[in-house]
Structure formats: structure tokens, C-alpha cells
């Protein structure tokens, strides 16, 4: 059978691939479904026939046999505006996508902020459209991860829960330790009136980074932001009104630090001569501020890879027990502190 004839007759079938490769239909099925119970020679013959005929597996039929969709959902619990504005999301999505491509799996990206969006996402995930779900930017003591697990959806979240960990599997960075290192760095350099621009307190990173600040300074001087540049500006103005003598600021994200630095320049204050500044994330923004922003590096790409590894282990049944992975952070000094 020639390639031209098979294509002219419509979509190539499994039987046509088997005939072209000179093997049985079952052998082709095993190759297509990723089984290792096929000889190297037979696998090469089948793969060659698939390429020559342009065969595309019937995903619906394959799902019925394997009970797999070969699709993973990545759900971001934020607005689309914030998703596209914050560098963190782009970096971790790229890392997750690359890890899944290496396993020949599809990534389905979903953004869910409103109650209506969350309801649709929950319904979609529990109707077995995907093999598992990765959850990012959860707020508060969200019940969705536990609910998905109860309904048989393998789930891994980014960031530890703000409440009891229970049976949830998560990957996190050492946010508290990173913040603590930043404050100790400022103190060693003689800064004594250190303020914090904290992240949202219904999110684990916001809570942990403020806790690290308070581990060193106690209650301290704190303004709350939402990780955005605009909130960093607003928090910096508030801090200067209430504490005009401050000499350092720890911001819980690079975006908030960049916004705060803009306000300092407007007020005629020099960074770091008058006010030192440290951010968190070590994003591309840190290299583009003037001066460069000292920042706590969190291993975002490694977080994405670990989330995929843990999720696939749960799906495959090789590591079904809950796992909690916390990755190290480190301070990256630049000109701002």
C-alpha cells in the first residue's frame, strides 16, 4: 500500500498501519499506547509505518481502552489581568509545559477567579476530561483541592495550604526562610528602621514572607499589598506618611518593590543611600530597576518540574501518598541594598 493511496482513501486506520508494518494489529496498538512489551524491531517498523501513512491515533477510542486522556489541567485562581502581568506565572507555566511535552502530555490552561468560573472548572475537572490538575495561586483555606481528590482527580498545588495541610500534595519555596535572610542581610548592613510591604494574607506566600520578616523584627512596620506594582506604590506612600524615618524596605514581590522604588524617587529619596530595598522572586524585573534590585530567588522552574513529577507519580500510582516538597531560596544581592 502506498502512502498516496492510504491518504486518498481517508484517515489511515490501525489495520492499515499493521499491514504496512508487517505486524499484527495488537502490536500497533501496544506501540501507540506506549507499552514496552514490543520488540525494538517491531517498534521501528510500526513507527515508520505511522510516519509514512500519516496515522493519527483516535484519542476517544484510546481513552476508552487506557482510561487516560493524556491531558493535564493547570488552573490559575487569579484574574486574566494579573496572570499576564506577573512574571511568576509565565515562568512556572513555561516550566510545567516543558515537563509535560517531554511526557507527550497536553496542557490545558484554565483561569478561574469568579465563583461562576470556579464552578465551571470544578465541574469540568470532575467529569474526567483530564488525568490530573495542577493548582496555582489558591486563596484562603480553599476546599477545592480536597474536593477534587475525593472525586478521584489527582491534584498537586503550588504553595502550602494556609490552614492544615492534611492529605494535600504541594510544592513550595522556603518563603519564610527567604524573607528572614533578607531582613538579616539588611540588619548586618546597619539598617535599623526596616519596614515590610507584605503580600496578601489570604495566600500562603504572603503569610510566610511576612512571618519571616517578623521572625527577626517582631511586629515591625507593615503595609499590605497584593503583589502588584500599583499596590507597592500605595504601600510605600502609606509607610512614608507614617514612618518618614525608615531606612529600608522588604517587599514581598519584585513588582511591589519596583512600585515602591518609583515612589522613593518621586520623594527625592536615594536607593540605597537613604532607603535600601529588597524584593522577592528574583524575576527579570530585578535586573531592570535602577539600581538593580536585591531580591530573594525562588526556584520557579524547579517548582514547576516538581509539581509535574509529583502529579504523574500520583496518576501512575507509583507514589499515591501525599507529598510536601519545599525548595530552598537564596538572596541575590544587587545595587538596591
pTM for the model: 0.77
What is the distance between the alpha carbons of residues 326 and 182, in angstroms, rounded to a whole number?
A: 18
Divide the 337 residues of the chain into consecutive groups of 10 and give the mean pLDDT of each group.
43 84 86 77 89 70 56 89 86 93 87 82 80 89 80 88 79 97 97 97 94 97 96 98 97 97 97 98 94 96 95 80 89 97
Kindly compute the dihedral angle of the four CA atoms of residues 149, 115, 109, 296, in this order, to the nearest 10 degrees.
Answer: -90
The confidence score (pLDDT) of residue 2 equals 39
The domain defined by 71-172+301-327 folds into Rossmann fold (3.40.50)
Does CATH place domain 3-66 in 1.10.3720.10? no
pLDDT digits (tens, 9 = 90+) for 276-331: 999 999 999 999 999 999 999 999 999 999 999 999 998 887 666 678 899 999 99
**What is the Cα–Cα distance from 108 to 93, expressed in whole angstroms?**
11
Same CATH topology for 3-66 and 175-297: the answer is: no
Q: What is the per-residue pLDDT across 192-207, written as a single tens digit (0 to 9) for each?
A: 999 999 999 999 999 9
| Residue extents of the structural domains in the chain | 3-66, 71-172+301-327, 175-297
CA 3-5-10 angle, 5° bins: 100
Cis, peptide link before residue 246, omega less than 30° from 0: no
CATH superfamily of 175-297: Response regulator (3.40.50.2300)
CB atoms within 10 A of CB 103: 11
Amino acid at each position: 500500500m502506498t502512502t498516496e493511496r492510504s491518504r486518498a482513501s481517508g484517515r489511515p486506520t490501525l489495520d492499515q498501519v499493521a499491514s504496512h508494518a508487517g505486524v499484527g494489529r495488537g502490536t500497533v496498538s501496544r506501540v501507540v499506547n506506549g507499552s514496552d512489551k514490543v520488540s525494538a524491531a517491531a517498534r521501528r517498523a510500526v513507527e515508520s509505518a505511522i510516519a509514512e501513512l500519516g496515522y493519527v491515533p483516535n484519542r476517544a477510542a484510546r481513552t476508552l481502552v487506557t482510561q487516560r486522556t493524556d491531558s493535564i489541567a493547570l488552573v490559575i485562581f487569579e484574574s486574566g489581568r494579573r496572570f499576564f502581568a506577573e512574571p511568576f506565572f509565565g515562568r512556572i507555566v513555561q516550566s510545567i509545559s516543558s515537563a509535560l511535552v517531554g511526557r507527550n502530555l497536553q496542557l490545558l490552561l484554565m483561569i478561574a477567579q469568579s465563583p461562576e468560573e470556579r464552578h465551571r472548572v470544578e465541574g469540568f475537572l470532575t467529569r474526567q476530561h483530564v488525568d490530573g490538575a495542577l493548582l496555582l495561586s489558591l486563596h484562603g483555606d480553599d476546599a477545592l483541592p480536597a474536593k477534587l481528590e475525593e472525586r478521584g482527580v489527582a491534584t498537586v498545588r503550588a504553595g502550602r495550604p494556609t490552614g492544615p495541610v492534611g492529605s494535600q500534595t504541594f510544592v513550595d519555596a522556603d518563603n519564610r526562610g527567604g524573607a528572614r535572610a533578607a531582613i538579616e542581610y539588611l540588619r548586618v548592613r546597619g539598617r535599623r528602621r526596616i519596614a515590610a510591604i507584605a503580600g496578601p494574607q489570604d495566600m500562603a506566600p504572603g503569610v510566610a514572607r511576612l512571618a519571616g520578616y517578623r521572625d527577626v523584627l517582631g511586629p515591625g512596620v507593615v503595609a499590605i499589598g497584593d503583589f502588584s506594582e500599583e499596590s507597592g506604590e500605595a504601600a510605600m506612600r502609606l509607610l512614608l506618611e507614617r514612618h518618614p524615618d525608615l531606612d529600608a524596605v522588604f517587599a514581598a514581590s519584585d513588582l511591589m518593590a519596583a512600585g515602591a522604588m518609583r515612589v522613593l524617587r518621586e520623594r527625592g529619596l536615594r536607593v540605597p543611600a537613604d532607603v535600601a530595598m529588597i524584593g522577592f522572586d528574583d524575576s527579570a524585573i530585578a535586573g531592570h530597576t535602577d539600581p538593580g534590585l536585591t531580591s530573594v530567588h525562588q526556584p520557579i522552574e524547579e517548582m514547576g518540574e516538581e509539581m509535574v513529577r509529583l502529579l504523574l507519580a500520583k496518576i501512575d500510582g507509583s507514589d499515591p501518598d501525599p507529598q510536601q516538597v519545599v525548595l530552598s531560596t537564596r538572596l541575590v544581592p544587587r545595587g538596591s541594598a
